[in-house]
A and B are shown apart, each in its own frame.
Chain A
C-alpha cells in the first residue's frame, strides 16, 4: 500500500475550546488508484490531507493520535528535515486557489525551477529548462515565451495547470489534490481533470482527490470516503455508492443535488446544519439531521461496520446500514 492513514485524530485548540476536526480517520491509496474524499466544509477532509502532507499549522492544530504510513514508514515519527525530503519529492499537493497559492512576485519559471534547485541541486539555468519542459507537459501554449511571466498574467485554468506542474515536478508517487477545480468554470474544469487523470495514468501515481462535488467524483474516482464531522461515515467503491448508498448522509447528499439529465420536482434537502466541531453531538454525529435516527443513535457511536457485498471492501458507520442499503 502506498499510503495508509490509521485512526488519525487532529484537534485545534481555540479560545472557545477544543475543536475536534478529525476523529479517527482510516483510509488508504495504492499506486495508480484514485481515492475521492467527499465532504462539506468543516468535515475534516482538508485537515486530514494537511496532516498527511505535514503542513498542518501546529499550534493551534495538534495531531493527537494515529499513524500515517507512507510506503510502510510512519511519517509522524520522522524529524522535520526527513519529512521535508519526502514532501514535494514523493508526495505533492495541488491546492484549490491557484492565485493565492502561487507567489505573485516570482515568475512561474522561477517557482517551478525552485523545486529542482532545492531538491535536486540543479543550476538556475538547468532548472529553467526543466520548468519549460513541465509547462509543456501540462499543455501551456508557448511555454518557452511564458516561462518568465508572473501568475497574474495567466488565466485561472492556466494557473491551475501551473499548480499541477509544480506538484508533478519531481514525479511524486502520491498527489493530493484539494478541490483542484472548484474555482474553475466547467469547460476549464473538464480540461484540468482530464489532464490530471492522464498524468496520473502515465506516472502511475496514487491520487487523493478532495472535493464536495459528487459529479467530479463519479467521473474519476475508484473509491470514495465520505466524511462527516471528522469521521469517515461511508467508504465504498465508486460504482456501488452511487447505486445504493449505505449511509443516510451519503443518501441525503446524492438526493439533494439537482441533475442535469433530470428535471425533478422538489429537491430532497438534508435538514439542519453541519455540527459545530466544538460540540459534536453524542452518539452518531449525524443523528440530529438523520431521517432514520432513533434512541440508539443518540447514545451509541456507530463503529465502521463492514458492509462488503463485492470483492472490494465497503464500510458504513450507521447502526441501521441494512435499512439504508436495502430499503
Chain B
C-alpha cells in the first residue's frame, strides 16, 4: 500500500445521555462511534458502508473536524488533527474537504452559485487572491460539467444532479488532497447517479484525490472503491480490498448485507441464497456485550457474548494465501460466497458445499 495520508486510530464518539435539568448527571452514552481504525492511502478510495445508525456519518464529520472525537486520533501526514492548535488546524482543513449528501439543504438558497463555490476562498485567501476568484469559480464550474455562465444563478434554478455538482465544486475549491463524501449520490435519480459517480472518478484521476466514500448502497461503493470497510454499530467489522469484501467476505454481517442487496438480474432469483437477518439493529446506547452483532447472528455462541472479537486477520486464514485473508472481527469467521459471480456456474457449486450447513459447524473450533 502506498503511504497513508490519513491514519485513524481507536476513534470514539460518545454522546452523553443526561438526566435532570439543573444538576445534570450522565446516565449513559450513545456510542455512535466506538473504536474505529483505518488508513487512507494517497490516491485511493476507501468506501465505508453500513446501515443507518452505524456511525458512518459521524466518522465523516470527525474526519473533517465538524465533530470532536471523545477519544482516539486522526493523523493527517503524521499530525493528529484532534489536538492541533487552531492555526495549524486551519491549514490542515484546507486539505480535507467534504461533499454532503443532500444537495437541497447543503446549499444556501440565498447565495448565488458563485458565492457558494467561492466562499472557501474567504477563509483561505492564500489559495486565490481576490481579483482571481471569479475566474477560479468559473473554472471549477467547467470542471464539474456545468456551464461557467451559470455563476450568478441560485441553487433553486438547478436540478438535483446539478446541485450535487455545485457541492462537489465547492469541495474542490481549495484544491484539497482528501475529499470525504457522505452519501453523495443517494438523493439522486438513477440516470443522474451514474453521471455524478463518473464525475467523481474522473476528478480523482485529474487531481489525484483520495476519497473517503461513505454510502449505504453497496453496489455504488464497490464500483468506486479500492478498499471497503463495513461498519456495524459504531465499529468496522470487516475491511479489505473490494474483491476481498465482495467476493470473499468472512464476517457474517457482511455476508448478510451483501446477500440482501437486490441484484438487477431476474435469472439470479432462483439460485441466490439470501440471508435474512432477524430483528433490528440494537440501540447504540445499549450495545450488546462481546460481539455487537451477536444478537442478530446465526452463528452466535457463548464465546461471542463474552469476548469482543478484534478486527484482525482471523486465525484460520492467517497462514493461507486465500483472498479471505483480510481483517474481520469475528470469532468464527469463514468464507462464504454470497454475491453470485458473473458466469453463475461456480457460484452454485459453492453454495452447496458452503451454504447448506449455514455455518453451524465453524471451521475454527
Contact = CB atoms under 8 A, between A and B. Distances in A.
A186 B340 CA distance: 17
Q: From DSSP, what is the main secondary structure of chain B's interface residues?
A: helix
Interface string A152-188: 0001111000000000000000000000000001111
B191 A242 contact: no
Interface stretch (B21-29, B100-108, B121-129, B253-261): B253-261
B190 A260 contact: no
A274 B189 contact: yes
Contact of B264 (A41, A141, A259, A274): A259
B260 A260 contact: no
A17 interface: no
A263 B266 CA distance: 19
A266 B198 contact: yes
B264 A263 contact: no
Nearest to B49: A186
Given A260-B339, A273-B159, A274-B189, A219 B194 contact: no
B220 to A, nearest CB: 5
A316 B244 CA distance: 41
B365 interface: no
A193 B274 CA distance: 12
A94 B93 CA distance: 45
Interface string B230-263: 0000000000001100100000000011111111
B219 interface: yes
A18 interface: no
Interface in A219-253: 219, 221, 238-239, 242, 252-253
Given A187-B257, A187-B277, A261 B263 contact: yes
A267 B223 contact: yes
B261 A186 contact: yes
Interface residues on A, range: 35 or more
A216 interface: yes
**Contact size class for B?**
35 or more
A252 B191 contact: yes
B264 A258 contact: no
A257 B274 contact: no
Contact of B277 (A191, A193, A242, A267): A191
A312 interface: no
B266 A242 contact: yes
Interface in B256-287: 256-269, 274, 276-277, 279-280
Contact of B216 (A186, A213, A217): A186
B52 interface: yes
B309 to A, nearest CB: 20
Given A190-B274, A273-B159, A185 B191 contact: no
Nearest to B296: A187
A221 B195 CA distance: 27
A40 interface: yes
Contacts of B266: 218-219, 221, 238-239, 242
Contacts of B246: 260-261
B194 A267 contact: yes
Given A191-B276, A264-B223, A214 B269 contact: no
B351 interface: no
Contacts of A74: none
Contacts of B222: 258, 260, 263
B49 to A, nearest CB: 9
Nearest to A239: B266
Contact of B51 (A187, A213, A258): A187
Given A256-B191, A258-B222, A218 B197 contact: no
A138 to B, nearest CB: 14
Contacts of A187: 51, 256-257, 260, 276-277
B281 to A, nearest CB: 8
Contact of A218 (B219, B256, B259, B262): B262
A218 B269 contact: yes
A257 B257 CA distance: 18
A272 to B, nearest CB: 9
B342 interface: yes
The 3 closest A-B pairs by CB, nearest first: A215-B262, A258-B223, A256-B194
20 contacts: A41-B189, A157-B280, A186-B261, A187-B51, A190-B260, A215-B261, A218-B268, A221-B266, A239-B266, A242-B267, A252-B191, A256-B190, A257-B190, A259-B264, A261-B341, A266-B201, A267-B194, A267-B197, A268-B194, A274-B189
Interface of B: 51-52, 159, 161-162, 189-195, 197-198, 201, 216, 218-220, 222-224, 242-243, 246, 256-269, 274, 276-277, 279-280, 339-342
